[in-house]
Amino acid sequence: MVIWITGLSASGKTTLSKAFEKKIKATRPNTVLLDGDVIRELYGNDLGFTEPDRIVQIKRLQSIASFLEKQSILVVVAALYANHELLENNRTRFADYFEVYLKADIEFLMRREFKDLYKNALANKIDNVVGVSIPWNEPAHPDIVFDVKDGYTADEMAQKIYALTIGN
């Protein structure tokens, strides 16, 4: 199974994926977390943040997730870029796929981020920021949507995902 968590920067993808991994690891030790930032580092940060580079990054995550899923490993992916074609490809590529969307608007995320990514993008100090200079495409068919403004904790969201996937 592949659980794909997406949302804009600072929406909580990494925090949620780590909470879910922690919850499930005791009963499903064959669980692997693929965080987009970590995978970038493993490849030597050889990609930038342009739209074409983001597509390559997602294709890397898809390939690794597919490889692991075929070995009966539960894969949790935390990834930013939401290209409709790539996400729809996930539904046909993976045998068992569950998509989580952490929904939040830029104004809300600007108040909680610590890297000043959106502030700097809106001030034209940096480019290639999804949601500012690169369009954000909301996932078309997520299996569950958490509105980040609703204040769910990562553990509460992880429990809900568990109930909808593993707990069935």
pLDDT digits (tens, 9 = 90+) for 41-99: 999 999 999 999 999 999 999 999 999 999 999 999 999 976 889 989 999 999 999 99
CB hemisphere CA count around 43 (13 angstroms): 18
- Joined together, the tokens standing for residue 6 give 């997406």
d(CA 80, CA 123): 21
User: Letter for the amino acid at 15?
Assistant: T
Contacts of 129 (CB under 8 A, 6+ apart): 9, 49, 117, 118, 120, 121
d(CA 98, CA 9): 20
What average pLDDT does this structure show over 124-133?
91
Determine the pLDDT at residue 100. 98
What average pLDDT does this structure show over 121-144?
92
Determine the pLDDT at residue 114. 78
pTM to 2 decimals? 0.94
What Rg value do the Cα atoms of the chain yield, rounded? 15
Range of the domain at 123: 2-164
- Classified as helix, coil or strand, 60 is helix
Determine the pLDDT at residue 168. 63
Question: Average pLDDT of the chain?
Answer: 93
For the purposes of burial, counting CB atoms within 10 Å of the CB of 114, is it exposed (0-12), middle (13-18) or buried (19 or more)? exposed
Residue 141's CATH number:
3.40.50.300
The total domain count for the chain is 1
**Would you tell me how many other CB atoms lie within 10 Å of the CB of residue 160?**
16
Where are the alpha helices (H) located in the chain, listed in sequence order?
A: 13-25, 36-42, 51-69, 84-93, 106-112, 117-122, 154-164
